[in-house]
Chains A and B, each alone.
Chain A
Amino acid sequence: MDVASETKTPVVVVDDVHVTYQVFGTGKKATAEKGKSAKKTRVREVHAVKGVSFVIHQGETLGIVGSNGSGKSSLMRAIAGLFPATQGAVYTLGKPTMLGVGAALLPNLSGEKNITLGGLAMGYKKKEIDEASDSIIDFAGLREFIDLPMRTYSQGMSARLRFSIAASKKHDILIIDEALAVGDRKFRLKAEDKIRQMRQEAGAVLLVSHNMKSIQNTCNRVIWLEKGELIMDGEPQAVCEAFISSMEKGDGD
């Protein structure tokens, strides 16, 4: 790869990253291996990311597209350092922060306490997070529900709260994994606006989404992953169009 000729500062270098999971499988495997009983699938190795390499430069917002199970989230977790690469390496300038979908942070605590703890875990001081708390609640638009336990939140509310906590802080590298998908339209537009604003301050932003409009609204470069491999890397419009036409032909499952 001809990287030495680049003059821009790299902030994320993904070098031949593989991610494999050991999963306890149950029941029958879809395709029985020769000579083995199909029932005996105890530990299965899932090869989610298969040797991906790319470089992100200062000021870029990189969109990541691909069908379900293409390895996007696994790759994002490897870049964030939450689930280190099994093989290969990720290098970053500064600390990445990841914002993902999924369960509440601490389901039994109120939204407000989740703000405090999430903020402290991200590196806020107690005083700073107490001061920031109000504007986080307002941005999330959850003022009336903030004293309820987070387990009672809908997916969209939970995602809004997590986005607002993460967005309140300046990040070197911000990874947003489908975090906007479950929010309503009004919040999504507000969040996209915020991402563009954060791009000015952050080294780089990575955005995983199935919403091509969101990707084209915020990103200036897009990569396309399929079955753990890098298929295409380039201008948002070109990559998104190629991805969509492949999906419509039915190649990408």
Chain B
Amino acid sequence: MNLADYAAAHGLSQIGTRPRLMEYLSQAWERRDFALTMSIYASESANARTRLGRWWLVLLPSLQAFAYGLVFGLILGDLRPPNFIPFLITGVFLFSFFSGSFSSGAKAITANSGLLKTVSFPRILLPLSAVIREFINFLPQLAILALVMVAFGQQITWEWLYLIPITLLMVFFSTGLAMISARLTVQVKDLGKLVPFITRLMFYSSGIFFEIERIFAGYPELLAIAMFNPVYDFISLARGALINDMQTTAFLWIVSSIWAFGIFIFGVFFFWRAEARYGRG
């Protein structure tokens, strides 16, 4: 009788193997309190040592929007889209949620080695907690967004309620993003260096401060590709909901939903596949 049979005969199970997906997700669900509590603590401690504390959650994106508004407002001149400030702020704030999830996800495993080496738990809780934290940071920005809209002459309409499903889709999409970046940075450390670059590239190509229809007007192929850029699609949906002169289209809803659920499902699956590797290094 070899040891494996002996272990099986006494009902022992092998350790350090990846559980089946459904079992894994149910283990993670049982410990959801951990992900939630960790994100609340991390959000609190991030600004704990600054004088303005949690005000930074709204100050920083506002300053960013101000800087971009000033710079791009001057550079773009006549190319400025109508309703420039509401247009820009919607883009900047939504983008900060995506880029935040992507970069926090990238650090979710690599920055928590103390915890990983000590306690075993479903590792998926770490990128999940990173997204919850980004979502907590995003909520006050939504409130500012609404204030800016009103301040710059937008009427409050029933269409604003579209923001609820839009936010939900964005959460799914960001969760997927965080899962993907969490695994990739563990396996290829070099990717951690590329994260800021990828983020910049997305920022300048997703129509955050310009209308892609106008800028890419001479390049129909580029425009076709840009229309399927998920970041652009989510931001356009939100603009359609908030800005009176802009509309949400069926195309945007369909493409965004496919992106949201597609990336979410792929991300969870992709992260789970490497579960046995996250304790290393």
User: CB within 8 Å of B: which residues of A?
Assistant: 1, 3-4, 9-13, 15-16, 21, 53, 55, 77-85, 89-93, 95-100, 102-109, 113, 116-118, 120-123, 125-126, 162
Expressed in whole angstroms, the Cα–Cα distance for A6 and B138 within the complex equals: 60
Complex partner residue of A120 from B34, B112, B116, B118, CB under 8 angstroms: B34
Contact of B31 with A123 in the complex, beta carbons under 8 Å: yes
Interface residues of B in 23-71 (CB under 8 A from A): 30-31, 33-34, 37-38, 41, 45
Q: Which residue of A lies closest to B18 (CB)?
A: A84
Of the candidates A53, A95, A106, the one whose C-beta lies within 8 Å of that of B3 is A53
Determine whether B194 belongs to the interface, using a CB cutoff of 8 Å to chain A.
no
Shortest beta-carbon distance from A70 to chain B in Å: 19
* Residues of B1-30 contacting chain A, CB below 8 A: 1-4, 6-8, 10-17, 30
Within 8 A of A (CB), among B265-281: 276, 279-281
- Check A90/B14 contact, CB under 8 A, given A1-B3, A13-B7: yes
Q: Which of B13, B30, B45, B116 contacts A92 (CB 8 A)?
A: B13
Interface centre among A97, A104, A109 (most CB of B within 10 A): A109
**Total chain B interface residues with beta-carbon distance under 8 A:** 38
CA distance A105 to B114 in the complex (A): 5
A121 lies within 8 A of B15 (CB): no
A116 CA / B30 CA spacing, docked (Å): 16
Q: A91: which of B7, B280, B281 is its contact (CB, 8 Å)?
A: B7
Residues of chain B whose beta carbon lies under 8 Å from any beta carbon of chain A: 1-4, 6-8, 10-17, 30-31, 33-34, 37-38, 41, 45, 112-121, 125, 276, 279-281
| Contacting pair A90 B114 (CB below 8 A) | no
Provide the residues of chain B in CB contact with A122, threshold 8 Å. Answer: 119, 121
Contact assessment for B112 and A106 in the assembled complex, using a CB-CB cutoff below 8 Å: yes
Least CB separation from B8: chain A residue: A91
**Across-interface contacts of B276 in A (CB, < 8 A):** 84
Instruction: Tell me whether A13 and B6 are in contact in the complex, defined as CB-CB below 8 angstroms, given that A85-B16, A120-B34 are known contacts.
Output: yes
Q: A84-B276, A93-B11 are in contact. List 5 more A-B contacts (CB 8 A).
A: A83-B16, A84-B16, A89-B14, A106-B38, A109-B41
A residues less than 8 Å from B119 (CB atoms):
97-98, 105, 118, 121-122
Set A80, A90, A162: member contacting B120, Cβ < 8 A: A80
Among B3, B7, B116, contact of A82 (Cβ-Cβ < 8 Å): B116
Q: Is the CB of B33 within 8 A of A125?
A: yes
Could you say which residues of chain A place their CB within 8 Å of the CB of B12? 10-13, 91-93
Chain B residue numbers with a CB within 8 Å of A78 are 16
- Answer whether A4 and B7 are a contact pair too, CB < 8 Å, given A82-B116, A105-B118, A117-B38: no
Determine the distance from Cα of A97 to Cα of B119 in the docked complex, in whole angstroms. 7
CB distance from A51 to the nearest CB of B (A): 12
Q: Are A107 and B37 in contact (CB under 8 A)?
A: no
Q: How far is the CB of B249 from chain A (nearest CB, A)?
A: 43
CB-CB under 8 A from A9, the residues of chain B are 10
Q: Report yes or no: B37 in contact with A89, Cβ–Cβ below 8 A.
A: no
The reply to whether B3 and A105 form a contact with Cβ atoms under 8 Å apart is: no
Q: Which residues of A contact B112 (CB under 8 A)?
A: 106
Residues of A within 8 A of B37 (CB): 116-117, 120, 126
11 contacts between A and B (CB under 8 A): A4-B6, A15-B7, A21-B281, A55-B6, A77-B279, A90-B16, A91-B7, A91-B15, A98-B120, A108-B45, A120-B38
In the complex, the answer to whether B114 meets A107 with C-beta atoms within 8 Å is yes
With the chains together, A107 CA to B45 CA distance in Å?
Answer: 11
How many angstroms from the CA of A104 to the CA of B4 in the assembled complex?
36
Residue of A nearest to B280 (CB): A83
Contact B41 A117 (CB under 8 A): yes
